[in-house]
Structure 1
Amino acid sequence: MLALMFAAVAAGLSPPVVPGDRIAWLGGTLVEQEIRSGDWEFEIARAFPGGKIIIRNLGWSGDTLLGEARAGFGSPTEGFKALVSQTMAMKPTVIWLQYGTNEAFAESLDIKEFRSRYERLLDALSPSKARFVLVIPPPVESRPSPLPDPGAVNGRLARIADEIRSLAASKGCSVVSLEKLWEGSPAGQTTNGLQMTPGGYRSTAAAFTKALGLASTTPTPLELANDGKETIDKFLPSPGNPRLVRTTGLGQGSHELLIDGEAVASADAAAWKEGVMVSKGAPWAQAASLREKIVAKNMQFFHRWRPQNETYLFGFRKHEQGNNAREIPQFDPFIEKAEAEIDRLSVPASVRYQIRKVSS
């Protein structure tokens, strides 16, 4: 967190996220579908243990700066009004705007018009008094034939990225660039160059947190004194990511590591001296619970703000079932309870590490 704050101060800008923030996250499919994995949001939660950060994912497939995809049965103008009203209703302290991907598919991209539309949206959202964070979208991932070469689209995305930086500088907004989102991950994180695979958000989580400027949350090697004392880590591990555990002074034979009484790894004395990779036990179980709670909260919020039968509840057929609209706010206490649990789970619990000899 300190590294993030220092970088922001050095640039004279507010950081993308600070403890206590209420984030409204706008954008297209890449934003919207993150609710199913929760991996990017998980990384934010574990980077700020007990930080009481609330994330309202308002992503919408096909979204643009005009909000046309949000229009429903209305006109494109209604879509823009919906985009603004949906965001303002969240009472955000910071708004992340992740636009440019869909606009880049227009072969006749007018970069001046793109900027004008962006400025119009920022002006419409300015009464919120929220900080603006302009997120530069990632390039389209290159995928095998028959999918087309993304070179032309990525060329337009590069122009869009430059324009976003220029706009941010003129408005005093922070910028988060996802231009290197695919670096460090194996190929094939998307199904078609745009939509993530089920594991794509997890594979790119490290690049995402780096783009946000978050301080490293990679667990350091644990030098185990084998005194049975409880240990509290600074951050939770990421699910599936191992941690190196070392200890010395063991006699010959096989020894197993217990975390809160659960045997999680076994090796001989020489291996423990060099270090053994551990990826299960209480800390990882807590991390998995945190991620699961984030996904559950996201789905509850999704049904809160985008109920499946919206036309019957609030639209032109509300005369048929509009009386059920009163049930939609009943999601709120469940969402608030889940967010309190997310905040609790983001704080690493104390755990007891012990080494026990199992054979000579």
Structure 2
Amino acid sequence: MKPIAIVAILLGGLTLSVANAESPIRPGDRIAIVGNTFADQLRIHGYLETALLQHAKGISIRNLGWGGDMLTARDRPTNFPTEESTLRDHKTDVIIACFGMGESFGGIEALDQFRQDLKSFIASHAGKQYNGESEVRLILVSPIACEDLGKLTPDRDARNDVLRAYTQAANEVAAAAEIPFVNLFETSLYLMDEPVGPNLTTNGIHLNRFGYWAISHEFAGQLLASDQPDHFRPWRITIDARAKTGQGRGVEVSELTVDVFQAADPEITFRGAETTAPRLPPPTDQPLPPPLAFHRDTIVVQHLPAGTYQLTIDGEHVATAAADAWGQGIAIDHSPAHREAERYRADVNDKNLQFTYSWKALNQVHIVGERKHSPSGRALPGEVIEFNRLANQRDEALQSGIPLKSRQWRIARVER
């Protein structure tokens, strides 16, 4: 068995907590994310939301995460809108709850209290119809693991023993309540222990940009479906130069012309019609560990004569590599389609920023606090309403998704 296949099996085994069940996220869901710093930072990076928007059509997400939040410690400014009112304003169908990291610092001796607090959290939403029609659905999410950063994380193994115990406790509570559970602890630990690739965190427990890109693949996979249908899998294009055949997943291959054995200017050309959105490119130039390389959009060109070949799409350079590398597979996540995907993620982040300005503005004292009756305070509620309108407007624009196009692909030999 090839190593990439082993990787797929290993990662697939990490989604057992939601396997054999209906996808936790459904098309058209209005979603609220609540929880700690991990949840809060999801809105800044946008990788998870972009993936969900592409593969669960019609969804709308509001991120209510707050740095440092725990189940029983969720401090807010004076007169801050209640979470229930915000959930109702969004007509929330499903809540994704990310807790456990902060609570885990209480150690094993606080595990029973954590279980009880989780049960109380679930009970607090039982029977609530924030959308005005049906009972809200809950999804519990585990904390991530602690990464080995040397002197920065001297007690890493002990921390992970505790985090594993909290993850197991959350899983048991979710199972008893018959609600989905997303296990990010095992996923993140597996990736953190890979010897290749950048660090995932800044301090062992807070993900960096690369970490959010990496974790969001598995997070989205567990939220959408256990069987990983083709529409959620990365692009995979295979061209056989000798047989002059080509096929693609995510990109349909047509008008294939192969002229690489006798021609003075060897080349392969074809029309590539995108049928699914591309994967977001990794925010690093470093080599990726195998589990993450598996998630990249790839083209394989078999039986190329020796030489160096360059891929262009609609005339724009995408990749250059030797024939043997093309036979192994080349990542193609710097294509025109991938740039459009990054622009779409930027639009997701902008929508989140507009919502944040309307919900968690920096100058709360002028909106809900002691200065709300000042001249500037009296003007701010109107601005908040406008920011909320902008967030809703951006939300609507995001529903069209990343544009799928038909483009001209060309692989030609170049002198090196």
Residue identity opposite 1:157 in structure 2? L
Measured in 2, the distance between the counterparts of 1:267 and 1:145 equals 39
Residue identity opposite 2:342 in structure 1? A
The SS at the match of 1:24 is strand
| Bigger RCO of structures 1 and 2 (CA < 8 A, at least 6 apart) | 1
Measured in 2, the distance between the counterparts of 1:171 and 1:206 equals 26
Relative to structure 1, is the Cα distance of residues 294 and 130 closer, same or farther in structure 2, using a 3 angstrom cutoff? same
Measured after TM superposition, the shift of residue 24 of structure 1 is 0.6
Measured in 1, the distance between the counterparts of 2:69 and 2:329 equals 48
Measured after TM superposition, the shift of residue 61 of structure 1 is 0.7
CA contact (8 A) 1:282 1:351 kept: no
Measured after TM superposition, the shift of residue 277 of structure 1 is 4.2
Relative to structure 1, is the Cα distance of residues 101 and 245 closer, same or farther in structure 2, using a 3 angstrom cutoff? same
The SS at the match of 2:140 is strand
Using the aligned pairs only, state the percent identity.
Answer: 26
The SS at the match of 2:25 is coil
Relative to structure 1, is the Cα distance of residues 157 and 273 closer, same or farther in structure 2, using a 3 angstrom cutoff? closer
Measured after TM superposition, the shift of residue 103 of structure 1 is 0.9
Measured in 1, the distance between the counterparts of 2:322 and 2:55 equals 34
Relative to structure 1, is the Cα distance of residues 100 and 88 closer, same or farther in structure 2, using a 3 angstrom cutoff? farther
Measured in 1, the distance between the counterparts of 2:330 and 2:157 equals 44
Does residue 209 of structure 1 match 2:216? no
Measured after TM superposition, the shift of residue 135 of structure 1 is 0.9
Measured in 1, the distance between the counterparts of 2:157 and 2:88 equals 37
**Higher mean Cα deviation, 86-95 or 143-152?**
143-152
Which residue is 2:337 aligned to? 283
CA contact (8 A) 1:28 1:61 kept: yes
Relative to structure 1, is the Cα distance of residues 169 and 343 closer, same or farther in structure 2, using a 3 angstrom cutoff? same
TM-score normalized with structure 2 length: 0.72
**Higher mean Cα deviation, 198-207 or 263-272?**
263-272
CA contact (8 A) 2:298 2:329 kept: no
Measured after TM superposition, the shift of residue 247 of structure 1 is 7.0
What is the correspondence of 1:156-195 to structure 2 with a 5 Å cutoff?
A: 156-180=162-186, 181-185=188-192, 186=197, 188-195=199-206
CA contact (8 A) 1:294 1:342 kept: yes
Which residue is 2:70 aligned to? 64
Measured after TM superposition, the shift of residue 177 of structure 1 is 0.8
Does residue 304 of structure 1 match 2:355? no
Cα root mean square deviation, aligned: 3.3
The SS at the match of 1:184 is helix
Equivalent of 2:29 in 21, 27, 39:
21
Measured in 2, the distance between the counterparts of 1:228 and 1:207 equals 32
The SS at the match of 1:173 is coil
Measured after TM superposition, the shift of residue 284 of structure 1 is 1.1
Equivalent of 2:271 in 221, 229, 232:
229
Measured in 1, the distance between the counterparts of 2:213 and 2:18 equals 29
| Structure 1 unmatched runs, 5+ | none
Measured in 2, the distance between the counterparts of 1:203 and 1:351 equals 28
Relative to structure 1, is the Cα distance of residues 238 and 9 closer, same or farther in structure 2, using a 3 angstrom cutoff? closer
The SS at the match of 1:202 is helix
* Cα distance per residue 1:162-220 (max 9 Å; x no partner): 32222222222111111122423546321222212232212333333344364252221
Residue identity opposite 2:43 in structure 1? I
CA contact (8 A) 2:26 2:224 kept: no
Relative to structure 1, is the Cα distance of residues 211 and 272 closer, same or farther in structure 2, using a 3 angstrom cutoff? closer
Residue identity opposite 2:75 in structure 1? R
* Cα distance per residue 1:130-171 (max 9 Å; x no partner): 111111112222332254414444333333223222222222
Measured after TM superposition, the shift of residue 57 of structure 1 is 1.0
Relative to structure 1, is the Cα distance of residues 311 and 172 closer, same or farther in structure 2, using a 3 angstrom cutoff? same
Residue identity opposite 2:181 in structure 1? V
| Structure 2 unmatched runs, 5+ | 1-11, 130-134, 240-245, 247-255, 258-268, 283-295
Measured in 1, the distance between the counterparts of 2:329 and 2:114 equals 53
Which residue is 1:122 aligned to? 122
Does residue 243 of structure 1 match 2:298? yes
Runs of 4+ in structure 1 deviating by more than 4 angstroms, as ranges, are 6-10, 250-256, 266-277, 355-359
Measured in 2, the distance between the counterparts of 1:154 and 1:253 equals 48
- Alignment coverage as a number of residue pairs: 346
CA contact (8 A) 2:18 2:181 kept: no
Which residue is 1:140 aligned to? 146
Relative to structure 1, is the Cα distance of residues 265 and 179 closer, same or farther in structure 2, using a 3 angstrom cutoff? closer
Measured in 2, the distance between the counterparts of 1:263 and 1:341 equals 30
Measured in 2, the distance between the counterparts of 1:108 and 1:256 equals 56
What is the correspondence of 1:310-321 to structure 2 with a 5 Å cutoff?
A: 310-320=364-374, 321=377
The SS at the match of 2:208 is coil
Residue identity opposite 1:118 in structure 2? L
